[in-house]
Structure 1
Amino acid sequence: LQLSRQIFDFLGFQWAPILGNFLHIIVVILGLFGTIQYRPRYIMVYTVWTALWITWNVFIICFYLEVGGLSKVSV
């Protein structure tokens, strides 16, 4: 309990991206398994997740580059 508390205190706000990346790895493994075994449900989950993941990454890139009306500085 104390070790996990120290780990999360050390990570600070980085826990969400770490958990997101872990989830992404799990979904990629399921997608590969679904492709090899031809499980349409796994392939569909992988397809939807990949679309969401790419959309999120494009948003983050545009946010940091301040494309359009996106800005890191609040007015």
Structure 2
Amino acid sequence: QIREAFFELPDEQRSALHLVAIEGLTYEQAAKAIGVPLGTLMSRIGRARAALREMEDNAPARAKNHLRIVRGEP
């Protein structure tokens, strides 16, 4: 589920988060690698993390909806 949510992020957010969280670059290194100011990189990472948290919070609701469909309820 987290993998799917990660790939649902906008490209700019996904790239920024990937460089820092997966590749282990510092914020400064990641900002330089993608050619943006440090503040921009930090904003993108913050928005990406917030989006992932929101997707996680909404996951149980999605599962419940899937169960309703399986049971044939409206």
Higher relative contact order (CA 8 A, sep 6+): 2
Asked which structure has the greater CA Rg, the reply is 1
TM-score bucket of the superposed structures, by smaller chain: 0.3 to 0.5
